Amino acid sequence: MARKMSVGLRKQGSRDALTEWAKARKAWAAQLLVRFGMQTKEWVWSVYNNPHGEGKVDAAHGPVPDWLDLDERHALHETGVAWWDEHHNRCSNSSHEGVDTLYQFKRDKNGKLDSRGDFDEDSPAKLREKYANECRAAFGCAMTRVEAEDAEVVGKRAAPWFYSYRWLLSEGESLDKEAEADAEAHKRRGEVEGRKEWTTGLREEGELYLQDSLEHIAGIGPGKKKTLEELSPPITTVQELLAVDVTAATIPGITHASLKKFQDAARTANGGTGPKDGAFPDHLVKDHREEEHPYKSRYGEEKWREEMWKRSPVCKKYAPIRDMITHMVKESQKMFDGTEHEKDWRMYHDALTTMTCKTTKAWMKNQVDAHGVTYLDRWILPEDGETEDYPMTGARGRPCLTIPVHPPMHGSTDRRHGVRGPSARQFAGAHAMGRLAEQRRRRLTQLARKVVVRVPTRQESA
């Protein structure tokens, strides 16, 4: 017996307010309020414990905990943070922004609304693509200000980083793929296919040496080569062929005209300079697929990774997260060059799994930017507490807020939240950025006040 069942959808998350992630999210919002200087630590600690209070200090709550009692070293500034986020958008070839329904109104011949006019005869349509793929990119923006009194706040946009058709891999996963790519290249060593790509030191087209055998001359095939080698004395090299007196030589099967043609081809080799001295350096020919690390051997220390991820069939479908992080750091630095936070800027990115895993964070800790700051120190992460009741343990050192208006990018690029904020062009507007900062302050305050209570199950409610 069998039965037919429908495959339903499951939400990616939980409404249980007692989860470690929910507790960490509330504490992270409280910590950001203090670090951005939006509220005092005493006020935040008060509303954190008494969501319906007015922010008055209450001794019953105890002293401000260490994870909230932060000094200037942990301070963040609105004009010193680069905000980054990714967006995936399915491409649509349509002049109507991908909508499925349009409403037409009658217009006159000048295009003005007219109830006695006519409808447009052209039927709107969008292309039914054989392969509909997503456009994937990471975007960054920042609010900056130069070091001067009453200086104007300027919004800036970073150059986006594109990774369409590819999936992001953590540092550990990337290293595994690179080892797999080297192993795949090893398997193809000795194959004719790809030999030109993998082998260096090969003979250039038209390159000829005096000690080369005769088959390197155009027109001399196996038959003519054998005839010349069986002469007495034999002619086996280019140098010996050039020494032949064409007018006096009598060679069975080869006319004087053909012999002269062969000699002329040899004399005009190498771009007209004639044959090179000696023999072709075979010892310089190297098939890099034979080496322990084929890509590093073939393309050198600086470019082998770039070429591997571009050429290897194992890696083509993926993108290492290290490339995106490096782009974020470099582009963020460009936005803050010449500003008040040129050296101490920070960047915000939410809890992307490939970024928060141990291997990626270990890699970030070993990468240093132009000012000697590690990539990991540039990333805004929760400040650890030393007490046993530290509420952000569930976040495991990850930024646990992915909400509208927290990162400015979510006001537009993240449609999962059902919000439409400023467009990509407005990201660079100081007014829009300032408005988002105020929205962020209100939202963080709301989250810090949030009551962490357990949502009863349906059975318990009954």
How many other C-beta atoms lie within 10 A of the C-beta of residue 354? 21
- Residues of the chain with pLDDT > 90, as a percent, come to 23
Residue-averaged pLDDT of the chain: 78
> In this predicted structure, what is the pLDDT of residue 425?
36
Q: Which of 385, 407, 305 is nearest to 85 (CA)?
A: 407
> In this predicted structure, what is the pLDDT of residue 348?
92
Name the most confidently modeled range: 47-56, 423-432, 449-458. 47-56
Q: Is the pLDDT of residue 412 over 60?
A: no
- pTM reported for the whole predicted model: 0.71
- 236 φ/ψ angles, rounded to the nearest 5 degrees: -120, -15
Greater pLDDT, 365 or 106: 365
Q: Give the number of residues written for the chain.
A: 462
Q: Is the peptide bond before 63 cis (omega within 30 degrees of 0)?
A: no
Q: Is 381 helix (H, G, I), strand (E, B) or coil?
A: coil
Q: What is the DSSP string of 134-156?
A: EEEEEEEEEEE--SSTTPPPEEE
Q: What is the DSSP string of 161-209?
A: EE-TT-EEE-HHHHHHHHHHHHHHHHHTTT-STTHHHHEESPPPTT--B
- Give the mean model confidence (pLDDT) for residues 179-208: 81
At 129-147, the pLDDT tens digits run 555 567 888 999 888 888 7
- 287 φ/ψ angles, rounded to the nearest 5 degrees: -90, 110
- Give the mean model confidence (pLDDT) for residues 180-197: 83
Rounded to the nearest 5 degrees, what angle is found at the Cα of 36, between the Cα atoms of 35 and 42?
Answer: 60
- Give the mean model confidence (pLDDT) for residues 246-270: 80
> In this predicted structure, what is the pLDDT of residue 430?
44
